[in-house]
Each structure stands twice: as structure tokens, then as C-alpha cells.
A = this chain, B = another copy of it.
């Protein structure tokens, strides 16, 4: 057993990382932005990044510096947040919540706002209650089966295009899909196949709409596709979001390598149980979320990485978070890990799902010393 002195070295230096902290490397974030912008540019498509992962004005500005002017968000409240920082062309990639008609009008009064419709009632209610024009996308289900109208529902799609075309304030802009089923793919080939079948459906639906479909923009989401597919020339716009940070899920899906993972959650060690090769971290479900991956038949809630001060290195093979409760995270690893840990030290964890983790931690510490805001409203 190490002496207590060794703990003190880690513990009682000026206290960084007192509590679970999302530590981000801005250089990796900016590199991820440049890489994705270049992918869009090579295919000549609009790059409308999704801001639902970072939800940060600070990070939003990094996109602006890279030439981005059109963005995607996942709630009207987030649209208001980014509009407050000068973003003026915002797609809310979530079916219209009619109960927020007041906020829709507030936004539409001063920014170009894009809304998703998949139900005729919503078009009718908007037409009745809008005070300013909005862009409208019809949400198409290309196989994920979460939201959207499928290619088998052409009568409803045509009913919608008729309603929207006949409206004075709804500007029919395009067809939009989120091919979320790429998250379940296990190879890059499968991701490519999903991309091809999804974009084929988008193109078919546009064709089948007839005259009203002419000129409609085809907008496509999801980080796995946008990270892996080389040629987007059969669509008009991509909306990836998670790629700004990536995470363990994206690594396992083949969307990135570890050098592209832009953040780890730094967690204090609060207990060590060598007898069962476990340590207890201050870092639980309210910090990392209960999202898990199955790795080697076990539920995994995070991957332990090497840490040195505020830099992280490679993943430590076989060292994972294997259980989470409200504040507790249970780290399991071999003797070589557990015997090094003492209460008061910190451990770096690559989260399974960075979007949910960022939402829970509500802010960032940057490796260069800066802080990052996070949109708190939900």
C-alpha cells in the first residue's frame, strides 16, 4: 500500500477538478469542425451543423469562425439561445411543438427559422396562429422509424405539400431526414448502405411529390454517415452534430478514432476496493447519463483513459465504468489500475454519449484554461 504522502501529491495541489468536469480540448473541436466543413465542401453541400451536442455560445463561435452561418438545433428554446448570439438562420430539427407557438412567433419575428412538419394538423394550426413567415421542412422517415412520414405515405406527404403551398406564411423549403439507424451499424459498409438507401428514399419522395417537389432541398443528418460517407452529391445539406466532441459510442461505430474524441469527464476518486478490482468515482448517472454500450457482454458506461494533469492520452484496455447510480460511478480494471488509485486522485472517462453528458454537466473546462457555457433550458 502506498503511503499517504502519495495521495497528498494529487490531492492538495491547487484544486482543479473538485467535481465531475467535462474537460474539452479546443484544438480537437476546431479540427473536427474543419474536417467536417471540408467534407461538406468537397461534395458542394450546405453544412448546417447541429448544435444539440455542445449547446454552447462559445463553441458556436468556433463554427462561425470556420465560415458556418446556418445551424440546426433541437428545441425552440435552444434556437432562442443561439439567436441571442447573432445566429440568424436556424433549423429546429424536431417536430413542431404547437404549445410553444408564442416562442415560434417571437423567433420568426427576427430570424429565419426552419420548422419540421409531419402532420397536416400542424400545418393548419401554424397557418392559423403564425404572425411571421417560417421555412418548413417535411420530415421523412427513411428507416429509423422514430419520426417522419415514410415513402408509403405519399398521400399524406402530398396533402402536406398542398397545405403548405397554399399557405401565406409557410415557405416549403425541403425534405429532411435523420438516419439515426446508423448508430446501430457495426461496420462502415453498413453506414454507407444506410446512407445510400436513405438518400434514395429522399430523392424518390421528392420526385413523387410532382411539381410541388421541384427544387426542394434534401437535408440529411447523423454523425456516423457524415463522418464516413465520401460523396454527398445526391443531397443538398448535411446536419451532423455529435462530431464536435465524438464519444465512445461513435468510436465503437467507427465514426472516429480516439484522437478525434475532444473531451473526457474528469472524476474524483472517492473510494478504492482492491479486493474486487474496483474504485468508486464521484461521477454517476447525473453526470454521465445512464446511456451504455454492450462491450464483451457487459454494460459499459465509460472508458478510462490515461491522464496527466489536464491532458489525456490513450484508453486503458479493460478499464471501464461498469455501473452508475445517482452520484456514484464504479470503475473496474485490472490490478495495474486499481493499485494506482487513491481517494483524492482524479480519473479521465470518455463518455458513452457526449450529447447527454454535456447536457448533464452544463458547462466545460477547456484544456487551455477557458470555460464554456451550456444552454440550460430544456
Contacts and interface: CB of A to CB of B under 8 A. Distances in A.
A248 B96 CA distance: 29
Interface in A28-78: 52, 74-75, 77
Contacts of A97: 18-19, 268, 270, 282
A188 B232 CA distance: 58
Contacts of A272: 119
A325 interface: yes
User: Looking at chain A's contact residues, is the secondary structure mostly helix, strand, loop, or mixed?
Assistant: mixed
A355 B7 CA distance: 33
B270 A95 contact: yes
A234 interface: no
Interface string A335-378: 00000001110100000000110011110000000000000101
Contacts of A121: 4, 7, 342-344
Contacts of A98: 7, 11, 268, 270, 343-344
A325 B50 CA distance: 15
A214 interface: no
Interface of A: 4, 7-8, 11-12, 15, 17-20, 52, 74-75, 77, 94-103, 118-119, 121-122, 124-125, 129, 139, 145-147, 153, 180, 268, 270-273, 275-276, 280, 282, 285-287, 289-291, 323, 325-328, 330, 342-344, 346, 355-356, 359-362, 376, 378
